[in-house]
Amino acid sequence: MSFLSAGRLLNASKSLSALTLHGLRSQTTPKLNFQAIQVRTATKKVAGSRTNMRDSAGRRLGAKVAENEPVKTGQILYRQRGTKFYPGENAGIGKDHTIFALEPGYVRFYMDPFHPERKFIGVALAPELRLPTPHFSPRVRRLGYEEILDEKKAAFEENNLARKHHLLRPTIEKQLEQRQLQRESVLTSYSEQIAKLASDLNEDEVLLAAERLLFIKTHIQNGTKLSESQAIATFTYFQNLRLEVQRGQTTQEEATQLRAEYSQLALKVDSLISFDNQYKLISFITEEQRLQKVAELDSKLKTLFADINKKTKNEIKSLIFENNLINATERKRLISKYLKSVLPEPTGLTSPTEKKASISKRWNYEKSKVEVVARSKEAFPFK
């Protein structure tokens, strides 16, 4: 005889009751056919991922050395983005604006009165030196090199160049020689002209005046005014005298005398000799006299332009381009005024049906349409 446990009896009673209920429902209600779908819900919270909080490592920008700290050649002084600091004396700057030392020495952070809005980082060659070096004083150079007594080693050291510079050396020497020859020829030409324009000058004064005029000519060609170029030439000569006194090459008394003589020579030369628009020497002429001659030229061109034809065309060109008193601005004004490629209307207006007429189309804003314009040869005097 077998016995059932209490759990099995409970399960059996549940199944019998379910069958009884199912039998009763099947007799009273119709049977429904449907398909059950099991839905599984999430039982764990999913964490979101964010990538916008990431950041790259710092670039370690800023100063790498302090004031008066000793540095070696090539050592980095300051890393930056942009030019917050500029390279000063004995310092260089890389393509990423990194400032580095070009000479061994001591770091200096300073301001330059010639560039008041910039901050500089430089390298002083000695601990007692301060930057910036005064503007017109000679730059401090590194001393303490040992003299090479062996002639072969000394010659090798003097001629030792990088391959690129070694290959360019003959070309550079040839260019320097050509420039020197050209300079000497210009000085010779100037000396001959000065001797004619200022006959009371001796040979030394003529040569000094020629060097002064050549210096002034170089500055004028670079866009400096004549008066400013003359002042720069005088100042440069006085500065060279001051440096010669500092080096011991000239005494203070001799420098004072040379300065007074040069001042008198500069006043005399500037009052007798000037430059034309082709940078050639001419007799001195005041600005009022020059403007008066330009006005006379303008009136003459106006008379010729009133009866423009092939004969007067070449004459107008020669008067404008061969005149040595008008400047570039005045020449452009005269060209646009008297050498027009097309004369203003109604000169040369003709019928579109005429032979050899130049036809062009343009928009008429008043009538809002394209109109055809015909011009005869009279409208094109320089073709």
Domain of 99, CATH number, reads 2.40.50.100
Which pLDDT belongs to residue 17?
55
Q: Scan for tokens 């150079």, then name that residue.
A: 141
- List the domain range (segments joined by +) for residue 86: 62-124
Q: How far apart are CA 182 and CA 174, in angstroms?
A: 12
CB 343 within 8 A of CB 379: yes
Q: Tell me which residue of 259, 269, 257, 258 sits closest to 199, measured CA to CA.
A: 269
**Co-location of 189 and 279 in the same domain:** yes
Q: Calculate the dihedral angle through the C-alpha atoms of 186, 189, 191, 197, rounding to the nearest 10 degrees.
A: -130
Verify that 191 and 253 share a domain, yes or no: yes
Using a 10 angstrom Cβ sphere, with 0-12 exposed, 13-18 middle and 19 or more buried, the burial of residue 98 is middle
Which of helix, strand or coil describes residue 242?
helix
pLDDT at 32: 52
At 120 the pLDDT is 97
* pLDDT at residue 78 in the model: 97
Q: What's the rounded Cα separation, in Å, for the pair 228 and 216?
A: 9
Residue 47 domain flag: no
CB atoms within 10 A of CB 111: 14
261 and 358: one domain? no
Residues in contact with 201: Cβ distance below 8 Å, sequence separation at least 6, in sequence order: 194, 195, 209, 265, 268
Give pLDDT, residue 2. 45
For residues 308 and 368, state if they share a domain. Answer: no
Are residues 270 and 221 located together in one domain of the fold? yes
Please give the pLDDT value at position 294.
86
In-domain check, residue 158? no
Residues 113 and 197 in one domain: no
Element holding 312 (H helix, E strand): helix 310-321
CA 101 – CA 89 distance, rounded (Å): 9
* Number of separate domains in the chain: 4
Asked whether residue 161 is assigned to any structural domain, the reply reads no
Peptide bond into 127 cis (omega under 30): no
Cα–Cα distance, 317 to 311 (Å, whole number)? 11
Same domain? 262 vs 223? yes
What digits encode the pLDDT tens for the residues 252-302?
999 999 999 999 999 999 888 888 888 888 888 887 888 888 888 888 888
**pTM of this structure:** 0.50
> Residue 41 has what pLDDT?
74
CA neighbor of 270 nearest in space, from 257, 283, 289: 283
Q: Which of 283, 303, 327 lies at the terminal end of a domain, its last residue?
A: 283
Alpha-carbon span 258 to 221, nearest angstrom: 28
Residues 261, 253: contact at Cβ < 8 Å?
A: no
Beta bridge partners of 374: 350, 359
Span 15-32, pLDDT tens digits: 555 555 455 454 555 555
Low-confidence ranges of the chain (pLDDT < 50): 1-3, 21, 24, 26
Report d(CA 46, CA 48) in Å as an integer: 7
Same domain, 275 and 305: no
CA distance 38 to 13: 28
Contacts 24+ apart (CB under 8 A), 226-235: 226/274, 226/275, 230/266, 230/270, 233/266, 234/262, 234/263, 234/266
User: How many residues in the chain?
Assistant: 383
Whole-number pLDDT of residue 75: 96
User: Are residues 209 and 273 located together in one domain of the fold?
Assistant: yes
322 and 357 part of one domain = no
Regarding whether 270 and 213 lie in a shared domain, the answer is: yes
Q: Does residue 77 sit within a domain?
A: yes
Domain co-membership, 269 together with 320: no
